Structure 1
Amino acid sequence: MSRVLRSAQRAFGLVELLIALTLGLVLVLGVVQVFVASKQTFVVQRTAAGLNEDARYVISRLSRELRMVNMFGCVDLNRLPASIRGSVPVAFDNSIAYTTSAGTGILKLISAVPNHDSFIAQQSRSPGDYGAKWLIATNCRDTDDLRISAGGPIVVRPGDIVIPLRQLEYRFSRNAIQLRSNDAGNFQTLIDNVADLEVRFGLAASTADAEVSGSYVSAVAVADAARIRSVNLQWLLSDNPSAPDSGSVKAQEFRQVVAIRNRID
């Protein structure tokens, strides 16, 4: 009889079992909630970091290329002889412009391609050798000997330098920034999730002034293109670009002011 009593005392009752199951369930639910919250935090942080990384990439790239606008090396297009000036592409007169139409904006640049070629023998070079649309060859001393190619080969002599120039088109369309080079091929997407892009220009009072005068403007006439001294870029990135306020993370706003050829004092 005593053995039966001791065995009964060691057993769990139904109430105790239900309490244990309840406590276990509460503990499991707590662990699951912590896991879900941690995962959500990770996703949000990763999304925000991705937006920042995309912005840094495009801003860094655009800043570098904007600084090479109007970079013709030792060549001053305004002081060329009339016989040479006529061979300069008309596009060089408006080397930076931003146009918008039906919700699509295109920032068009003529930007120099950095290179360090030196020539000890006469040879031929073409714009395509540098991924460029135009190629200038000069010895920087004789302005009458300037050679410009818009596609075909030109003769490069010992002591010459070459200045490759490419045309870049950055297009803001369908919440993406896209790029095309030298009017060739289709636009390629650089980044997505762009809710808005604003491009404005800082103009000098005259072509002889180096400083921006007055406020920035969104449109510049071709006749005033030579007065552009800086570009103000403003971006709004969101993981829900169609409705930035409804995204899983707060929309990220970025701003960058780039001096054209570092001409701002």
Structure 2
Amino acid sequence: MNRHCRGFGLIELMIALVLSLIVILGVVQIFIAAKNTYISQGAAAVMQEDARFALSKMVQEIRMVGMFGCLGTITDASTANDFNASQITPIRWDHANLKLTLVTTDVGSGGGAPTWTVVSDCRTSATAYTGVRVPAAGQMAFPIRRLIYSFSNNQLSMGTGAGNPTLAVLVDNVRAFDVTFGVASSATDIAASSYSSNPTDPALIRSVRLTLTLFDPKNAVREQTFNVVAALRNRLL
């Protein structure tokens, strides 16, 4: 038989199969790596978006803490006479139960029903009422909300209202949530000089640091910790 008419031998076929297998395995590895990268980037993006949503919401509300209208003296005409107590402690962090309580001016028009409404003529009188209150002619209404942020069972929840309001889940897959306060050295200082989780004098609080740690339930990406500092616009009592 003519040597030029011979086919491939067994060795040549085995070499070709091995080379093809190596190429296929390389392509599969590249595909798996690309897929894992896509999944991890997606999980990281979800965590960042959840953290941005929760922290930006809290920062916006913290900045309005301590703002109760245009006059400093307010008559408490609320149903349970609980408005004055909220004025004294408009921001409180319960480290044992991991609850952050804020008493803040309602932000925007989509905040729902206020806990209290301060009605004032911004000259001589200001009165706090429970719930919604329509101002009379020459008066202004300042809706005030009491907000509670609670961390438990890997969830950050939020509720609004007096007493123990019903909490709704704000963010899932939360590993840790912590709050510390930037405290000034004296009442005349503007900037915070130290941080404390339980400041003895609320009047010295100048800022609030929020720390939120999220995790991916599928372990596609490592835990991420997010920090943000919100400066208070209003001095606390």
Q: TM-score, normalised on structure 1?
A: 0.75
Q: CA deviation at 1:226?
A: 3.2
State the AA in 2 paired with 1:135. Answer: T
Q: What residue number does 1:170 align with? A: 149
Decide whether aligned partners of structure 1 residues 235 and 115 sit closer, same or farther in structure 2, where only a CA change above 3 A counts: closer
1:105-147 Cα distance to aligned partner (Å, 9 max, x none): 000001111458xxxxxxxxxxxx952110111111122xx23
Residues paired across the two proteins, number: 230
1:27 and 2:6 are equivalent in the alignment: no
Q: TM-score, normalised by structure 2?
A: 0.83
Q: Is the 8 A contact 2:184 2:194 kept in 1?
A: no
Does the CA-based 8 Å contact 1:98-1:199 persist in structure 2? Answer: yes
Query: Which amino acid letter does the alignment assign opposite residue 48 of structure 2?
Result: N
Unaligned runs of 5+ in 2: none
Alpha-carbon shift at residue 185 of structure 1 (Å) = 5.0
Structure 2 Cα separation of the partners of residues 115 and 190 of structure 1: 19
User: Matched residues in 1 for 2:135 and 2:192: separation?
Assistant: 41
Higher helix share: 1
**% same residue:** 36
Structure 1: state its 5+ residue gaps. Answer: 117-128, 242-246
- 1:15: Cα distance to partner? 2.7
> What is the match of residue 131 of structure 1?
113
**Do the aligned partners of 1:203 and 1:227 also contact (CA within 8 Å) in 2?**
yes
Within the candidate set 7, 32, 39, 2:35 is matched to: 39
Q: Name the CA shift for 1:210/1:159 in 2 (closer, same or farther; >3 Å).
A: farther
Q: Would you say 1:109 and 2:91 are equivalent positions?
A: no
The aligned residue for residue 207 of structure 2 is 230
Instruction: Return closer, same or farther for 1:130/1:163 CA change in 2, 3 Å cut-off.
Output: farther
> Looking at CA atoms only, which structure, 1 or 2, has the larger radius of gyration?
1
In structure 2, relative to structure 1, the CA distance for the partners of 1:262 and 1:17 (3 Å cut) is farther
Counting only pairs closer than 5 Å after superposition, residues 176-191 of structure 1 correspond to structure 2 as 176-183=155-162, 186-191=166-171
Q: Partners of 1:11 and 1:202 in 2: how far apart?
A: 83
Map of 1:218 onto structure 2: 197
**3-state SS of the aligned residue for 2:87?**
helix
Q: Aligned-pair distance for 1:59? A: 1.4
Corresponding residue for residue 5 of structure 2: 9
Q: Secondary structure at the match of 1:235?
A: strand
